[in-house]
Amino acid sequence: ELAKGPKGFLLALSGDGVYAFEPQKVLSYQTRPPKPSLNRFRIFAEEYPLQDHLQTGEPITLSYRQNFFSFDFGAIDFVMPDEIRYRYKLEGLDKDWVYANKYRSASYTNVNGGKFRFRLQAMHDNGPWDALAGGDSRQEIGIDLIISKPIWKKWWFYGLIGIAIVGIVLSI
């Protein structure tokens, strides 16, 4: 049984006694975004060590052949663990956020060489995404990736091909 107590407290009566709590504090906790975590990184289907990169801030470096990868992620929340939704973005590739809702994995295929940053945010079902716009680092996790370009897509390779063509033309 519930009863209203002094100063906005609610009193819950049970066989074990009386419990008092402030509903405003419970609601404000529920709207605080959960802290997201990156749990696993895979190249093709093979797991790649991730924790060292997260701790040191070192980027993950991949060859151009390792262009199919995925992240598994989650968030810890003891109040509403089944009510967490996610969004992510691979800066340098995704123009907008990808709303994964309750799906906890992001996969990328045929990613061209370059520098990227994977960003992940988590929110409760009842929370607005714009509440994360302040850039609080506790509400987002990210990791940098560098994918090398194949030799035939580097500027100096085109230069060598141009010199070779000029040499062949001049020798004729």
- In whole angstroms, give the CA distance from residue 80 to residue 115: 36
- pLDDT score of 134: 56
Torsion of CA 96, 142, 67, 105, to 10 degrees: -80
- Helical segments of the chain, H only: 23-31, 51-56, 155-171
Q: Could you report the per-residue pLDDT of 99-123, keeping only the tens digit for each?
A: 998 889 999 998 988 999 999 998 8
Find, among 23, 27, 20, the residue nearest to 5 by Cα: 20
- pLDDT score of 4: 79
Strand partners, 116: 145
Q: Round the average pLDDT of the chain to a whole number and report it.
A: 82
Cβ pair 86, 121 in contact under 8 A: yes
Q: What is the pTM of this model?
A: 0.70
- pLDDT score of 86: 92
Q: Is the dihedral of CA 55, 86, 98, 72 positive or negative?
A: positive
Joined together, the tokens standing for residue 97 give 């956020």
- Under DSSP, is residue 146 helix (H, G, I), strand (E, B) or coil? strand
Find, among 104, 69, 71, 70, the residue nearest to 86 by Cα: 104
What is the CA 99 to chain-centroid distance, rounded? 11
